[in-house]
């Protein structure tokens, strides 16, 4: 099927409109042209984008190696506090037959020298969280666009710093939230835009990680605290909200027709990190005797100005699998399930399911199969670039999503256009961190969201993430 509106879709949407619904979240319909399988790629005029990259660790290396293969990209400068990481990445560049980028390795703030010295279009940071905002601010103040790993910011002050610097310098700042590019989250976005869910009522998202098993920066093997462990020891709320919220924010047009209004948050007690420290290093070790503030489960409830509710789960310390399970509920349908793009019908994953009013006679009060919808509502970006993106799956579980995200960022900037997700998304989604911490600290008290867009959310057009 061409992907244009079918008659059934049209009737569904028309019916909802007739019911006098606000329709904020189905008002943006993907243009028919963008629905074609072979949507034309917009011309970049052959512009080369000069990139400076800061933080080439585990995550940075994956992003970096995709960038190296993207058309129109020149990696001009590299920065890491570790010389060996810069040397390794320089080698990757020269092995690809490109000129060696300059290296910046003189300590924690050498990225400033890089931003001030180098002629760059874009600076990308994949450093630990505390450096995201300093790097992005240094880049924008030096006249470069910025992109940052998630979450963009730790505190509300930092969120404002990003927004104010971007507004003042007229430079873009995109947060690299790759969960927005999962094939399922994008198929659901397409289903929402095409009216399958009617008006959105409620969404749920999870940052359910497995940090202990993956040994992800919680404790270092030498018995010191890892950079993530430091956050978990000192904070208590949802410190990593954007994997959970990012797709929901796009689905529900947050900052583009709607805005987050307030939240409340609650954490369980935290036991897992202390137990892990005892098992790893013994009961007398300094890490075993330390206090860990972060609860092992955090639940945050949010509500938008237009009345959509959201729940977010955060946890990665106690034994549980990685599970990016999301939910969307509308006036006409509901979908729930793991957003990861496996297809096998095995019970290692929480199968995605759909319940649709239009199929109630068939479904008889039971879930329908998500895969009945997957092909029909496959997102235009995946239709256009899915084969290219899937080449990166073998390298890393998120390679395909990272490819689509970097492709859109790089090509938007090459065309002198705004990237698909903006500084207001970065600030709003990241602000959940400090607001949830404040709420937890005050017995789940209500916290109002700042309006980072300063009123522009009312007139901002929704995004469909469909630009190729
Ligand atoms: N989107 C995803 O799916 C995903 C997955 C993993 C990590 N991440 C994010 O990526 C970021 C990095 O995570 P990681 O696992 O690669 O961490 P990492 O510790 O492996 O890598 C961080 C790198 O930054 C360098 N660094 C630290 N401080 C620096 C500074 N001041 N200046 C320059 N370089 C500095 C370190 O030496 C290291 O090479 C984090 O923000 C994390 O949340 C995102």
Each residue's pLDDT tens digit, 394-423:
888 899 999 999 999 999 999 999 999 999
Residue ending a domain, choose from 119, 141, 175: 175
Of residues 215 and 109, which shows the higher confidence score?
109
End-to-end Cα, the chain, rounded Å: 20
Phi, psi dihedrals of residue 129, rounded to the nearest 5°: -55, -40
Please write the tens of the pLDDT for every residue from 191-211: 999 999 999 999 999 999 998
Summary count for the chain: helices (H), strands (E): 18, 15
State how many domains the chain has. 2
Q: How does DSSP assign 356-393, residue by residue? A: EGGGHHHHTTSPEETHHHHTTT--HHHHHHHHHHHTTT
Residue ending a domain, choose from 135, 159, 175: 175
Candidates 56, 58, 224: which one to mutate for ligand 1, based on the most atoms within 8 Å of Cβ? Answer: 58
pLDDT score at 216: 87
Whether residue 38 lies inside any domain: the answer is no
Asked if residue 191 and residue 148 are part of one domain, the reply reads: no
| pLDDT of 26 over the 90 cut | no
Token look-up 């290692």 returns 348
- Domain of 316, CATH number, reads 3.30.360.10
Identify the band that residue 28 occupies on the pLDDT scale cut at 50, 70 and 90: very low
The answer to whether the CB of 385 falls within 8 A of the CB of 407 is yes
Query: Is 108 touching ligand 1 by the criterion CB < 6 Å?
Result: yes
Asked if residue 206 and residue 158 are part of one domain, the reply reads: no
pLDDT score at 343: 66
The answer to whether the CB of 288 falls within 8 A of the CB of 281 is yes
Asked if residue 298 and residue 151 are part of one domain, the reply reads: no
Least confident segment among 49-58, 252-261, 337-346: 337-346
Please write the tens of the pLDDT for every residue from 146-192: 999 999 999 999 999 999 999 999 999 999 999 999 999 999 999 99
**CA–centroid distance, residue 125 to ligand 1 (Å):** 8
The answer to whether the CB of 268 falls within 8 A of the CB of 310 is no
- Domain of 151, CATH number, reads 3.40.50.720
Whether residue 463 lies inside any domain: the answer is no
Cα torsion angle, 87, 88, 92, 97, sign: positive
**CA–centroid distance, residue 196 to ligand 1 (Å):** 39
pTM of the model: 0.92
pLDDT score at 346: 66
**CA–centroid distance, residue 129 to ligand 1 (Å):** 7
What mean pLDDT, rounded, does the chain reach?
A: 91
Asked if residue 348 and residue 453 are part of one domain, the reply reads: yes
Mean pLDDT of the 260-274 span: 98
Whether residue 468 lies inside any domain: the answer is no
Query: Is 131 touching ligand 1 by the criterion CB < 6 Å?
Result: yes
Residue ending a domain, choose from 160, 175, 190: 175
Whether residue 410 lies inside any domain: the answer is no
Asked if residue 364 and residue 250 are part of one domain, the reply reads: yes
d(CA 258, CA 252): 8
Give the start-end residues of each E strand in 11-108.
Answer: 49-54, 73-79, 102-104
Whether residue 3 lies inside any domain: the answer is no
Whether residue 1 lies inside any domain: the answer is no
Asked if residue 439 and residue 303 are part of one domain, the reply reads: yes
d(CA 457, CA 254): 8
Asked if residue 139 and residue 192 are part of one domain, the reply reads: no
Mean pLDDT of the 281-306 span: 98
Asked if residue 284 and residue 147 are part of one domain, the reply reads: no
**Residue 413 CA: distances (Å) to CA of 22, 45, 204, 265, 427:** 34, 11, 32, 37, 20
**Residue 108 CA: distances (Å) to CA of 112, 113, 121, 401, 412:** 9, 11, 22, 30, 30
Asked if residue 233 and residue 125 are part of one domain, the reply reads: no
Asked if residue 201 and residue 169 are part of one domain, the reply reads: no
**CA–centroid distance, residue 200 to ligand 1 (Å):** 35
Identify the band that residue 442 occupies on the pLDDT scale cut at 50, 70 and 90: very high
Whether residue 7 lies inside any domain: the answer is no
Question: How big, in percent rounded to 5, are the helix, strand and coil portions of the chain?
Answer: 40, 20, 45
Asked if residue 304 and residue 212 are part of one domain, the reply reads: yes
| pLDDT of 303 over the 90 cut | yes
pLDDT score at 147: 99
d(CA 29, CA 289): 55
The answer to whether the CB of 35 falls within 8 A of the CB of 380 is yes
Asked if residue 270 and residue 240 are part of one domain, the reply reads: yes
Please write the tens of the pLDDT for every residue from 56-101: 999 999 999 999 999 999 999 999 999 999 999 999 999 999 999 9
Residue having the nearest C-alpha atom to atom 4 of ligand 1 = 59
Whether residue 466 lies inside any domain: the answer is no
d(CA 243, CA 72): 28
Residue 89: which domain range?
49-175
């Amino acid at each position: 099927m061409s992907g244009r509106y079918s008659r059934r879709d049209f009737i569904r949407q028309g019916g909802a409109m007739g019911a006098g619904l606000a329709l904020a979240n189905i008002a943006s319909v993907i243009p028919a042209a963008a629905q074609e399988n072979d949507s034309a790629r917009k011309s970049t005029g052959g512009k080369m984008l000069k990139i400076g990259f800061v933080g080439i660790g585990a995550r940075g290396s994956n992003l970096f190696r995709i960038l190296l293969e993207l058309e129109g990209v020149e990696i001009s400068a590299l920065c890491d506090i570790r010389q060996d990481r810069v040397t390794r990445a320089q080698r990757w560049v020269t092995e690809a037959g490109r000129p060696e980028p300059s290296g910046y390795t003189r300590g924690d703030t050498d990225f400033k020298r890089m931003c001030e010295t180098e002629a760059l279009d874009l600076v990308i940071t994949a450093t630990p969280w505390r450096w995201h905002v300093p790097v992005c601010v240094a880049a924008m103040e030096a006249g470069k666009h910025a992109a940052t790993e998630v979450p963009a910011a730790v505190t509300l002050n930092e969120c404002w710093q990003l927004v104010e610097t971007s507004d003042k310098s007229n430079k873009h700042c995109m947060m690299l939230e790759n969960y927005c590019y999962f094939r399922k989250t994008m198929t659901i976005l397409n289903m929402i835009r095409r009216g399958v869910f009617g008006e959105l009522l409620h969404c749920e998202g999870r940052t359910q990680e497995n940090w202990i098993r993956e040994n992800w920066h919680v404790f270092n093997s030498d018995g010191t605290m890892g950079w993530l462990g430091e956050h978990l020891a000192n904070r208590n709320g949802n410190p990593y909200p954007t994997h959970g919220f990012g797709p929901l924010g796009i689905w529900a047009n947050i900052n583009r027709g709607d805005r987050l209004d307030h939240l409340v948050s609650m954490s369980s007690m935290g036991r897992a990190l202390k137990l892990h420290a005892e098992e790893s290093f013994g009961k007398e070790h300094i890490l075993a005797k330390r206090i860990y503030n972060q609860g092992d489960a955090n639940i945050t409830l949010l509500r938008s100005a237009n009345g959509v509710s959201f729940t977010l789960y955060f946890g990665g310390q106690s034994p549980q699998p990685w599970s990016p399970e999301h939910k969307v509920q509308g006036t006409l349908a509901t979908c729930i399930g793991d957003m990861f793009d496996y297809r096998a019908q095995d019970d290692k994953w929480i199968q995605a399911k759909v319940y649709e009013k239009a199929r109630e006679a068939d479904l008889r009060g039971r879930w329908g199969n998500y895969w009945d919808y997957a092909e029909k509502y496959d997102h235009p970006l995946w239709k256009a670039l899915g084969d290219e993106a899937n080449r990166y799956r073998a390298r890393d579980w998120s390679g395909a999503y990272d490819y689509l995200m970097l492709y859109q960022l790089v090509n938007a900037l090459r065309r002198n256009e705004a990237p698909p997700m903006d500084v207001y998304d970065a600030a709003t989604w990241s602000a959940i961190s400090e607001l949830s911490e404040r709420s937890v600290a005050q017995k789940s008290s209500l916290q109002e969201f700042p309006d980072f867009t300063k009123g522009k959310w009312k007139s901002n057009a929704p995004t469909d993430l469909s630009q190729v």
